[in-house]
Amino acid sequence: MPLTGTGRIVTAASKDGRGVGAFNVIQLEHAQAIVAGAEAAGAPVILQLSENAVRYHGGLGPIGAAVLAVAESARVPVAVHLDHATSAELVHQAVELGFSSVMFDASVLPYAENVRTTAEVVAHCHEAGVWVEAELGEVGGKDGVHAPGARTDPAEAAAFTAATGVDALAVAVGTSHAMLTRDAALDFELIGSLRAAVPVPLVLHGSSGVADEDLTAAVEAGMTKVNIATHLNQVLTTAVREALTGDPRLVDTRRYLGAGRSAVAAEVARLLDVLRASRRGGAVHTF
């Protein structure tokens, strides 16, 4: 099926009161597994490539083209998103390559500079019909830079959205990036206040640290796009480790990476059902 716009997927989920899963890709097996899980769940999904993953691969072109090809071969709606880009140049490359959306992260900058640089990126992307997510409030845990206790102010979030023209906003409500345990304490009251103040869909980063029931509750409180990366890496690594431990003579990468891919596909399907379980929603949007 043709690549689906991120805005189309997220807007439909927001109207339905449902969450949409956005899962990060590092290896090609991630992309294949995420799409397989979405097909099993019969749900749309967003494939994300972060700036760190692009750096690992030595550039956006090859891995970006591969992820786009996986998305276009899917039997469910799939979008491709550039995650946590701090470089306008990388954003421009993603737009040229055909990504559905970008997340421009200038959250470490002073507020006025964040507004100025984000607005410039939004203007460029909107000219190309590309949807833009930005961040306000410095979600914790990323490269040791952000304060884990950071919280986004609803009034500032509303002003930032109006000033920049972003299509979605990542907010700090208690999560932290790269958590290996699922015990983050979300501020559900703040999520509700942000949902009431901000006219665009809200994005929850650092969702690997959030328990299933709290993921559902976060969607009920007003979150729409839910980003998950570290948790899937744990699932993949555990399956690969078990395969290698179970057979010390195993050297065929297809066999142990295949085990990891299957495990991730099953977990993606399960998580997509968790995100669609919100009692806030009505009928699920049909693409």
Predicted confidence (pLDDT) per residue in 28-74, tens digit: 999 999 999 999 999 999 999 999 999 999 999 999 999 999 999 99
What's the mean per-residue pLDDT of the chain?
A: 89
Q: Of 68, 79, 70, 76, which is closest to residue 101 (Cα–Cα)?
A: 79
Residue of 243, 248, 251, 240 whose CA lies nearest to 33? 240
pLDDT computed for residue 143 by the predictor: 44
Please, is 253 exposed, middle or buried when counting C-beta atoms within 10 Å of its C-beta (0-12, 13-18, 19+)?
exposed
**For range 153-167, the mean pLDDT:** 96
Q: Is the pLDDT of residue 279 over 90?
A: no
CA 258, CA 225: separation in Å to the nearest integer? 28
Confidence of residue 137 (pLDDT cuts 50, 70, 90): low
Average pLDDT over residues 240-250: 96
- Catalytic residues, which ones? 83
Is the domain spanning 6-275 CATH 3.40.50.2300? The answer is no
